[in-house]
A and B are shown apart, each in its own frame.
Chain A
Amino acid sequence: MNSPASSPLLTSLLAAPLPQRGISWLDAARRENRAAFAADGLPDTRVEAWKYTPLRALSQRDFASGDSAAGTREVDPALFALPGVAGPRLVFVNGMFRADLSALEALPDGLVLQPLSRALDDDAEALRFVLSRHYRDIGDAFARINAASALDGVVLRVGAGVKLAAPVQLVFVGAVAPVALAWHARNVIELGEDSELALVEQHLGTGEQAHLGTLVSDIELRAGARLSHTLLQNAKGANLIRRNSLRLHARAHGTMHVLELGGALVRHDLQVELTGDGARFDGRGVFMPHGRQHIDTQLAIRHQGLNTTSDAHWRGVASDRARGVFRGAVLVAPGADGSDANLTNKNLLLSPGAEIDTKPELEIYADEVQAAHGATVGQLDEQALFYMRSRGMGRDEARAVLTGAFCRAVLGDMVNQPLREHLAESMMAHLPA
């Protein structure tokens, strides 16, 4: 193994001074996570969670930390405008909060929505539990550097019993800068008991520049809370490493739709813990790498409470020389009786140079369980193609229609109709010609 600290990536990330806020527990957590990052470096492909995502090329790049001009970089609001989404909004550009692009006026009662930098001023103690976390595994290298370096992010809280009608929009933009940047965002989201929230999160880029962005979110759903979370990623040429940790208490219900369209090297760790009895998670995702993109989704669902349900379906379409990676691990803990887990990953491989690596896993330690998974890699159904052509459609058109339908299936149960239509169109526009 190379000495980890020798890589340009590590050197550049560690060159930035640690942020100091004078909050002793926070400064300590930053120090320790940074020390761990410096000591262990990046995981190689022998680390199971990174088996299919080599970081060699990335480790040879360097990134400037922080963008002193982030507050003034030009970002066209049309970039993040979405139909069906016109509520409170928080926008970050190259990791920095942009009040000018955000919409925080007249927040509805029961909603706290502010940048982390401000929340730390107001009440740091409330964030102590989440932000003083230590990431212990070498596989968590990017969570470590995020914990050490993130200056800002989102703090969102919904009060108990509050049901918010309008979706809240969170936007993270990588804007073109004179040099490639590393930026980080740390989000803390909590839904109170029996509250309801629709969340639309976007990871975007203004150009093809290969920044490195890391995002870490902790999302907690108290008993009976309902979250509908849509994550749209179209980050152009960026390297984007993200982790979403969801914790669902009794009867909480989380729904997630994830669209991975852009990015150069993209990673999404989605960790779902069904802690409370009767908790439920519905996940749908699609990843569409093309060109030389590499998109890796690592979904881990843990059934802990009684009578919990997970239903997760991810689809991948890989073309050109791109690589799509999916791991879907379902764990049913001892005593988690009544668990019902269903997971599928279906993939289309469209080009000779493309690759799909998929790994559905079941790890079951309780017997009152219904658990199933499936994974496929293949092509479009020849019969369906023939059927469509016999009805007069050209071969390429028939392929496009079928591929589109294949991807669109993941949006089937999305409630926000205008948003759903828009996302479907974005996917279609993204299909290879």
Chain B
Amino acid sequence: MTSETSSAATLRDNAEVAEALGRTYSAGFVTKLETVSLPPGLNEDTIRQLSAIKEEPQWMTERRLDAYRHWLTMKAPDWAKLKLEPIDYQAISYYSAPKAQPKSLAEVDPAILEAYEKLGVPLHERAALAGVAVDAVFDSVSVGTTFRKQLADAGVIFCSMSEAIRDHADIVQKYLGSVVPIGDNFFAALNSAVFSDGSFVFIPRGVRCPMELSTYFRINAQNTGQFERTLIVAEEGSHVSYLEGCTAPKRDENQLHAAVVELVALEGAQIKYSTVQNWYPGDENGKGGVYNLVTKRGECRGDDSKICWTQVETGSAITWKYPSVVLRGDRTIGEFYSVALTHHFQQADTGTKMLHLGKDTRSKIVSRGISAGRSNNSYRGLVKVEQGADNARNYTQCDSLLIGKKCGAHTFPYIEVKNPTAIVEHEATTSKISDDQMFYCRSRGIREEDAVSMIVDGFCKTVFRELPMEFAVEAKKLLEVSLEGAVG
């Protein structure tokens, strides 16, 4: 009697809550703008046109064409645990930009400024997030970067990739493609051919970047792929913390996002790269949503350098990304902290690669996966210790939480060790939120849904701790929203 009555009531309550709230994807609005777009389709001419619109130097055009020719010889990857419709690369427009090209933030179309305002990323410097410089990328182009002067005073270059290609060609030529070569994988090759914009960061020797740098990516236009390219170079002894956020409107079609991010840390440098990924995940029936197929890799090129990836992945219909660290220098450190939450029909296949090449290198991997609805969530990772990597250390911990009976949680770690002085440890668990935990919370007066988000938040705590404060708060909220209707 007791249990039946209460669980029936719970079910009903949850159904009502779910119905009332649905999946509130608050970033799902569309901004009406006049845009300049290339017609859908991809061939050498499209790439030349794209390069011409961006007024790129010859070497860049050639690089793009090389990448394109390489891409033509490649096959789309075998989709691991993912199910997706084949992508028609000829149906995508490879360039879309607001018509009015601003020279400075002051000239940016008010509709765009309003869009960022709505997303909680105001671009006016006086209203801007204190201590965070933002580069805003709207569809294919960067629409503005805040706090440029303060950064320039410190010697930091933070601008769009297009600008960097024009104004800092020597640095771009030296480092672009040095971590993720043109032919690294199918999507990296495509990106190398057609990337439109992205952020460029250069921290000179010995400089500690005076503020958090942040790029906010927004897909707006229909049938557009977003192919941004980010390059961060931290010279000897420098420090930088970089954040990226992503959203897209609700659309019934799938949108393609195939970014490449390269990080280079020279001797003693430290790069912290944090992502809160909230691309449109599709609706509760699995319709629409972004295909987020991303190559992210950092190289600890100099001794004693450190790269730390932190990601909170709640959006996208499909996520396929493995932010990696090549530990080339001696005593270098790679870290990866990840929370991936999937609901409804979302699919996530994410993890990391830690390649130990230098001596006394260390890596740490903490992954928390949460699956709800009919979603599938996989951790896939590689820890590789090469012969010369004396005293390499890795510790990996992957935990998965299942909410509901129709979802899946999977763990596929690869461990390859060729050095007898290495110590590699991997642990993984999969479980659901225990009935005991739920009952304990509820008997203290906490509603079922609140108890779930509280327990999930606790489950993710070790990862959230790695995020800058503002992002940690946002990440927590995002989880709550994403879990709505998951219980019952």
Contact = CB atoms under 8 A, between A and B. Distances in A.
Q: Please tell me whether chains A and B touch each other in their complex, using a CB distance cut-off of 8 A.
A: yes
B387 A352 contact: yes
A375 B429 contact: no
Contacts of A362: 400, 409-411, 428, 430
B402 interface: yes
A335 to B, nearest CB: 8
A272 interface: no
Given A359-B413, A377-B417, 5 more contacts: A360-B411, A360-B413, A362-B409, A367-B403, A375-B413
A371 interface: yes
A116 to B, nearest CB: 38
A361 B412 contact: yes
Nearest to B382: A359
Interface string B371-391: 000000000000001010000
B424 A364 contact: no
Contacts of B406: 334
A304 B400 CA distance: 20
Nearest to B430: A371
B428 A360 contact: yes
Q: Closest 8 CB pairs between A and B?
A: A378-B423, A367-B402, A371-B430, A349-B420, A377-B417, A362-B411, A367-B432, A372-B429
A46 B400 CA distance: 28
Contacts of A366: 402, 405
A369 B402 contact: yes
B422 interface: yes
A367 B375 CA distance: 13
Nearest to A344: B427
A366 B419 CA distance: 38
Contact of B415 (A350, A357, A368, A372): A357
A355 interface: yes
* Chain B residues touching A, range: 20 to 34
7 contacts: A350-B420, A352-B419, A356-B415, A359-B414, A364-B409, A365-B407, A375-B415
Nearest to B384: A357
Interface string B195-220: 00000000000000000000000000
B374 to A, nearest CB: 11
B75 to A, nearest CB: 12
B413 A355 contact: no
A361 B430 contact: no
B412 A368 contact: no
Given A350-B420, A352-B420, A376-B426, A359 B415 contact: yes
B285 interface: no
Interface string B412-445: 1111111111111111111110000000000000
B404 interface: yes
**By CB atoms of chain A within 10 A, which of B402, B410, B420 has the most?**
B420
B408 interface: yes
Contacts of A84: none
Nearest to B388: A352
Interface residues of A, number: 34
A368 B402 CA distance: 9
B405 A367 contact: yes
Contacts of A379: 420-421, 423
A426 interface: no
A334 B371 CA distance: 14
A418 interface: no
Contacts of A372: 427-430
A201 to B, nearest CB: 29
Contact of B411 (A357, A358, A373): A373
Interface string B339-377: 000000000000000000000000000000000000000
A351 B416 CA distance: 15
A377 B394 CA distance: 10
A370 B420 contact: no
Contacts of B424: 375-378
A371 B431 contact: yes
Interface string A254-279: 00000000000000000000000000
Interface in A121-156: none
A358 B385 CA distance: 12
Interface of B: 385, 387, 400, 402-432
A374 B420 contact: no
A375 B409 CA distance: 19
A422 to B, nearest CB: 30
B403 A374 contact: no
Contacts of A347: 417
A332 to B, nearest CB: 8
Interface string A321-361: 00000000000001100000000000101111011111111
A334 B430 CA distance: 14
A311 B440 CA distance: 30
Nearest to A335: B405
Given A372-B429, A378-B423, A355 B403 contact: no
B343 to A, nearest CB: 14
B416 A357 contact: yes
A360 B412 CA distance: 7
A363 interface: yes
A333 B270 CA distance: 44
A394 B8 CA distance: 69
Nearest to B397: A374
A120 to B, nearest CB: 41
A360 B398 CA distance: 12
A38 B405 CA distance: 43
Contacts of B387: 352
A370 B402 CA distance: 11
Contact of B425 (A365, A370, A376): A376
B431 A351 contact: no
A364 B428 contact: no
B411 A361 contact: yes
Nearest to B403: A367
Contacts of B422: 349, 377-378
A377 B392 CA distance: 11
Contacts of A352: 387, 419-420
A362 B427 CA distance: 11
Nearest to B417: A377
B388 to A, nearest CB: 10
B282 to A, nearest CB: 21
A258 B412 CA distance: 24
Nearest to B395: A376
B420 A354 contact: yes
A218 to B, nearest CB: 28
A361 B428 CA distance: 9
A366 B415 CA distance: 26
Contacts of B417: 347, 349, 355-357, 377
Contacts of A363: 408, 410-411
Given A369-B402, A369-B431, A359 B420 contact: no
A52 B417 CA distance: 12
Given A361-B410, A363-B408, A377 B430 contact: no
B432 A359 contact: no
Contacts of A350: 420
A373 B413 CA distance: 10
B429 to A, nearest CB: 4
A374 B409 contact: no
Contacts of A370: 431
Interface in A187-242: none
Contacts of B421: 379
Contact of A359 (B400, B412, B418, B419): B412
Contacts of B403: 367
A378 B423 CA distance: 4
B371 to A, nearest CB: 9
B415 A377 contact: yes
A374 B420 CA distance: 19
Nearest to B415: A358
B173 to A, nearest CB: 35
B71 to A, nearest CB: 20
Nearest to A373: B428
